Amino acid sequence: MIRKNINILSLFIITSIFSQNNEIGFFAGGANYIGDVGPTTYISPFSYNASNNFVAGIIYRKNFNDRISARAKFNYARIGSSDNWSNTVDYRKERGLYFRNRVIEFGLGLDFNFLKFDVLDSSFQMTPYVSTGISVFEYDPLRYGIGEFEASQYGDDSNISLPITLGYKIKPLNDFIFSFEITASHSFTDNLDGSQPGDKLKTSSYYFGSTLSQDWYVFTGISLTYIFGSKKCYCPN
Protein backbone atom coordinates (compact mmCIF):
# COMPACT_ATOMS: atom_id res chain seq x y z
CA MET A 1 0.00 0.00 0.00
CA ILE A 2 2.84 2.40 0.85
CA ARG A 3 4.57 1.70 -2.48
CA LYS A 4 1.33 2.41 -4.34
CA ASN A 5 0.95 5.72 -2.52
CA ILE A 6 4.55 6.69 -3.31
CA ASN A 7 3.81 6.14 -7.01
CA ILE A 8 0.73 8.36 -6.70
CA LEU A 9 2.85 11.07 -5.03
CA SER A 10 5.46 10.87 -7.81
CA LEU A 11 2.81 11.23 -10.50
CA PHE A 12 1.25 14.18 -8.65
CA ILE A 13 4.60 15.98 -8.49
CA ILE A 14 5.46 15.30 -12.13
CA THR A 15 2.14 16.65 -13.39
CA SER A 16 2.62 19.83 -11.34
CA ILE A 17 6.31 20.43 -11.89
CA PHE A 18 5.87 23.03 -14.63
CA SER A 19 3.16 25.01 -12.85
CA GLN A 20 3.84 27.84 -10.45
CA ASN A 21 4.05 27.93 -6.66
CA ASN A 22 5.55 24.52 -5.89
CA GLU A 23 7.75 23.59 -2.94
CA ILE A 24 9.75 20.45 -2.28
CA GLY A 25 12.14 19.67 0.54
CA PHE A 26 12.85 17.61 3.62
CA PHE A 27 11.52 17.31 7.17
CA ALA A 28 13.46 16.04 10.20
CA GLY A 29 13.00 15.98 13.93
CA GLY A 30 12.00 13.96 16.97
CA ALA A 31 9.11 11.58 17.49
CA ASN A 32 7.12 10.35 20.44
CA TYR A 33 3.98 8.34 20.98
CA ILE A 34 1.00 8.66 23.34
CA GLY A 35 -0.48 5.43 24.64
CA ASP A 36 -0.40 2.81 27.38
CA VAL A 37 3.37 2.43 27.95
CA GLY A 38 5.81 4.93 29.47
CA PRO A 39 5.36 8.63 30.27
CA THR A 40 2.07 10.38 29.59
CA THR A 41 3.71 13.53 28.16
CA TYR A 42 1.93 14.60 24.97
CA ILE A 43 4.86 16.34 23.25
CA SER A 44 8.29 15.01 24.17
CA PRO A 45 10.45 14.39 21.09
CA PHE A 46 13.88 14.80 22.70
CA SER A 47 13.49 14.08 26.42
CA TYR A 48 13.77 10.29 26.34
CA ASN A 49 16.11 8.08 24.30
CA ALA A 50 16.23 10.66 21.50
CA SER A 51 18.65 8.66 19.37
CA ASN A 52 15.99 5.97 18.88
CA ASN A 53 12.96 8.26 18.50
CA PHE A 54 13.26 10.28 15.32
CA VAL A 55 11.48 11.15 12.07
CA ALA A 56 12.81 12.07 8.62
CA GLY A 57 10.93 12.58 5.40
CA ILE A 58 10.07 14.45 2.22
CA ILE A 59 7.44 17.15 1.87
CA TYR A 60 5.83 18.67 -1.22
CA ARG A 61 3.48 21.68 -1.27
CA LYS A 62 1.32 23.14 -4.02
CA ASN A 63 0.39 26.76 -3.17
CA PHE A 64 -3.00 27.75 -4.56
CA ASN A 65 -2.90 31.30 -3.16
CA ASP A 66 -1.32 33.20 -0.27
CA ARG A 67 -3.51 31.41 2.32
CA ILE A 68 -4.11 27.83 1.17
CA SER A 69 -1.82 25.08 -0.07
CA ALA A 70 -1.99 21.32 -0.52
CA ARG A 71 0.71 19.08 0.86
CA ALA A 72 1.96 15.56 0.28
CA LYS A 73 4.42 13.95 2.66
CA PHE A 74 6.39 10.76 3.14
CA ASN A 75 7.95 10.08 6.56
CA TYR A 76 9.95 7.32 8.20
CA ALA A 77 9.98 7.34 12.00
CA ARG A 78 11.13 5.24 14.92
CA ILE A 79 9.08 5.42 18.10
CA GLY A 80 9.39 3.71 21.45
CA SER A 81 8.72 4.10 25.12
CA SER A 82 9.48 2.49 28.48
CA ASP A 83 7.72 2.31 31.81
CA ASN A 84 11.16 2.84 33.39
CA TRP A 85 11.66 6.34 31.99
CA SER A 86 11.35 9.31 34.30
CA ASN A 87 8.00 11.08 34.68
CA THR A 88 6.19 7.75 34.27
CA VAL A 89 3.31 7.22 36.68
CA ASP A 90 4.06 4.85 39.57
CA TYR A 91 1.91 1.90 38.52
CA ARG A 92 3.61 1.84 35.11
CA LYS A 93 7.07 1.94 36.71
CA GLU A 94 6.15 -1.12 38.76
CA ARG A 95 4.99 -2.89 35.58
CA GLY A 96 8.26 -2.22 33.68
CA LEU A 97 7.22 -2.76 30.04
CA TYR A 98 8.99 -1.28 27.00
CA PHE A 99 8.73 -1.38 23.20
CA ARG A 100 10.10 -0.04 19.91
CA ASN A 101 8.22 0.37 16.64
CA ARG A 102 8.44 1.98 13.22
CA VAL A 103 6.06 4.23 11.31
CA ILE A 104 6.28 4.54 7.51
CA GLU A 105 3.75 7.22 6.60
CA PHE A 106 2.30 8.71 3.43
CA GLY A 107 -0.14 11.61 3.80
CA LEU A 108 -2.14 14.22 1.93
CA GLY A 109 -3.54 17.40 3.46
CA LEU A 110 -4.31 21.10 3.29
CA ASP A 111 -2.43 23.99 4.94
CA PHE A 112 -4.01 27.27 5.98
CA ASN A 113 -1.85 30.36 6.64
CA PHE A 114 -3.11 32.80 9.28
CA LEU A 115 -1.26 35.65 7.54
CA LYS A 116 -0.78 36.31 3.84
CA PHE A 117 2.22 34.39 2.57
CA ASP A 118 3.08 34.93 -1.10
CA VAL A 119 5.84 32.54 -2.15
CA LEU A 120 6.51 34.64 -5.28
CA ASP A 121 7.15 37.83 -3.32
CA SER A 122 10.88 38.42 -2.77
CA SER A 123 10.36 40.23 0.55
CA PHE A 124 10.83 38.61 3.99
CA GLN A 125 7.61 36.90 5.11
CA MET A 126 6.38 34.78 8.02
CA THR A 127 3.14 33.28 9.28
CA PRO A 128 1.73 30.68 11.65
CA TYR A 129 -0.29 27.94 9.97
CA VAL A 130 -2.43 24.88 10.61
CA SER A 131 -2.78 21.72 8.57
CA THR A 132 -4.89 18.59 8.54
CA GLY A 133 -5.62 15.71 6.20
CA ILE A 134 -5.32 11.93 6.18
CA SER A 135 -2.37 9.54 6.26
CA VAL A 136 -1.75 5.86 5.58
CA PHE A 137 1.02 4.22 7.59
CA GLU A 138 2.72 0.88 8.08
CA TYR A 139 3.84 -0.36 11.50
CA ASP A 140 4.81 -3.53 13.35
CA PRO A 141 2.01 -5.13 15.40
CA LEU A 142 3.46 -6.06 18.80
CA ARG A 143 2.69 -8.41 21.67
CA TYR A 144 3.94 -9.14 25.19
CA GLY A 145 4.16 -12.80 26.08
CA ILE A 146 3.01 -13.80 29.55
CA GLY A 147 5.77 -12.75 31.94
CA GLU A 148 7.71 -10.79 29.28
CA PHE A 149 8.70 -7.12 29.62
CA GLU A 150 9.80 -6.34 26.04
CA ALA A 151 7.27 -6.30 23.18
CA SER A 152 7.98 -8.56 20.21
CA GLN A 153 6.87 -8.22 16.60
CA TYR A 154 4.47 -10.75 15.05
CA GLY A 155 4.09 -9.42 11.48
CA ASP A 156 3.41 -6.12 9.80
CA ASP A 157 0.24 -4.13 9.33
CA SER A 158 -1.10 -0.83 7.97
CA ASN A 159 -3.74 1.62 9.12
CA ILE A 160 -4.82 5.23 8.73
CA SER A 161 -4.30 8.27 10.92
CA LEU A 162 -5.70 11.78 11.12
CA PRO A 163 -2.96 14.43 11.60
CA ILE A 164 -3.35 17.87 13.18
CA THR A 165 -0.42 20.24 12.55
CA LEU A 166 0.51 23.57 14.12
CA GLY A 167 3.45 25.35 12.55
CA TYR A 168 5.31 28.56 11.88
CA LYS A 169 7.21 29.34 8.68
CA ILE A 170 9.47 32.10 7.41
CA LYS A 171 10.79 33.02 3.98
CA PRO A 172 14.12 34.81 4.54
CA LEU A 173 15.41 34.06 1.05
CA ASN A 174 13.77 34.31 -2.35
CA ASP A 175 13.62 30.57 -3.06
CA PHE A 176 13.63 28.87 0.37
CA ILE A 177 11.14 28.46 3.21
CA PHE A 178 12.00 27.31 6.75
CA SER A 179 9.24 25.82 8.90
CA PHE A 180 8.86 24.52 12.44
CA GLU A 181 5.87 22.32 13.13
CA ILE A 182 4.31 19.84 15.54
CA THR A 183 2.01 17.15 14.13
CA ALA A 184 -0.10 14.96 16.39
CA SER A 185 -1.62 12.02 14.50
CA HIS A 186 -4.53 10.01 15.86
CA SER A 187 -4.07 6.46 14.63
CA PHE A 188 -6.87 3.94 14.26
CA THR A 189 -4.96 1.22 16.06
CA ASP A 190 -4.39 0.58 19.76
CA ASN A 191 -1.38 -1.64 19.18
CA LEU A 192 1.59 0.60 18.40
CA ASP A 193 2.77 -0.35 21.91
CA GLY A 194 1.65 -4.00 22.09
CA SER A 195 -1.18 -3.37 24.53
CA GLN A 196 -3.93 -4.83 22.32
CA PRO A 197 -2.59 -7.61 20.06
CA GLY A 198 -4.79 -9.51 17.62
CA ASP A 199 -7.59 -11.79 18.79
CA LYS A 200 -5.75 -14.94 17.73
CA LEU A 201 -3.07 -14.21 20.35
CA LYS A 202 -5.36 -13.75 23.34
CA THR A 203 -4.40 -17.07 24.92
CA SER A 204 -0.65 -16.35 24.79
CA SER A 205 -0.45 -12.58 25.13
CA TYR A 206 -0.71 -9.97 27.82
CA TYR A 207 -3.53 -7.46 27.25
CA PHE A 208 -3.59 -4.18 29.18
CA GLY A 209 -4.50 -0.51 28.97
CA SER A 210 -7.66 1.33 28.06
CA THR A 211 -9.67 0.40 24.98
CA LEU A 212 -11.53 3.73 25.06
CA SER A 213 -8.80 5.61 23.15
CA GLN A 214 -6.34 4.62 20.44
CA ASP A 215 -2.63 5.39 20.11
CA TRP A 216 -1.21 8.68 18.85
CA TYR A 217 2.19 9.50 17.39
CA VAL A 218 3.70 12.99 17.41
CA PHE A 219 6.35 14.44 15.07
CA THR A 220 8.16 17.65 16.08
CA GLY A 221 10.72 19.14 13.75
CA ILE A 222 11.82 21.54 11.04
CA SER A 223 11.55 21.55 7.28
CA LEU A 224 13.42 23.30 4.49
CA THR A 225 11.65 23.58 1.15
CA TYR A 226 12.75 24.98 -2.20
CA ILE A 227 10.32 27.02 -4.32
CA PHE A 228 10.25 26.07 -7.99
CA GLY A 229 8.08 26.42 -11.10
CA SER A 230 7.07 29.29 -13.34
CA LYS A 231 6.67 32.69 -11.75
CA LYS A 232 3.20 33.67 -12.85
CA CYS A 233 1.76 35.66 -9.98
CA TYR A 234 -1.71 34.86 -8.62
CA CYS A 235 -1.89 38.16 -6.70
CA PRO A 236 -4.26 40.94 -7.72
CA ASN A 237 -2.68 44.16 -8.96
In a domain, 32, yes or no: yes
Confidence at residue 6, expressed as pLDDT on a 0 to 100 scale? 53
pLDDT for 38 beyond 90: no
Look at residue 11 in the predicted model and tell me its pLDDT.
53
Residue 92 domain-assigned?
yes
Residue 237 lies in a domain: no
What is the rounded average pLDDT of the residues 98-108? 96
Specify which residues 25 forms β-bridges with. 59, 225
Please check whether residue 219 is in contact with residue 207, taking contact to mean a CB–CB distance below 8 angstroms. no
Check if the beta carbon of residue 181 is closer than 8 Å to that of residue 225.
no
Q: What is the CATH number of the domain that holds 136?
A: 2.40.160.20
What is the mean pLDDT of the segment spanning 153-161?
92
**Domain region containing 149:** 2-18+26-228
Nearest to 95 by CA among 35, 38, 34, 153: 38
Asked if the structure places residue 234 within a domain, the reply is no
Whether 217 is in a domain gets the answer yes
Total number of domains in the chain: 1
Answer yes or no: is 235 within a domain.
Answer: no
For 176-228, the pLDDT digits (tens) are: 999 999 999 999 999 999 888 876 655 556 778 777 789 999 999 999 999 98
CA-based nearest residue to 81, from 21, 172, 142, 3: 142
Domain-located, residue 194: yes
Q: With beta carbons less than 8 A apart as the criterion, state whether 131 and 168 touch.
A: no
* Phi and psi angles of residue 13, each rounded to the nearest 5 degrees, phi first: -70, -40
Domain membership of residue 56 (yes or no) is yes
What pLDDT was estimated at residue 237? Answer: 47
Mean pLDDT of the chain: 85
* pLDDT score for 197: 85
pLDDT at residue 18 above 90? Answer: no
Distance separating alpha carbons of residues 201 and 37, to the nearest angstrom: 19
Residue 173: its pLDDT value, please?
87
pLDDT higher than 90, residue 121:
no
Distance CA 131, CA 163 (A): 8
Q: CA geometry: angle at 218 spanning 215 and 221, to 5°?
A: 170
11 vs 37: which has the higher pLDDT: 37
Q: What does pTM read for this prediction?
A: 0.85
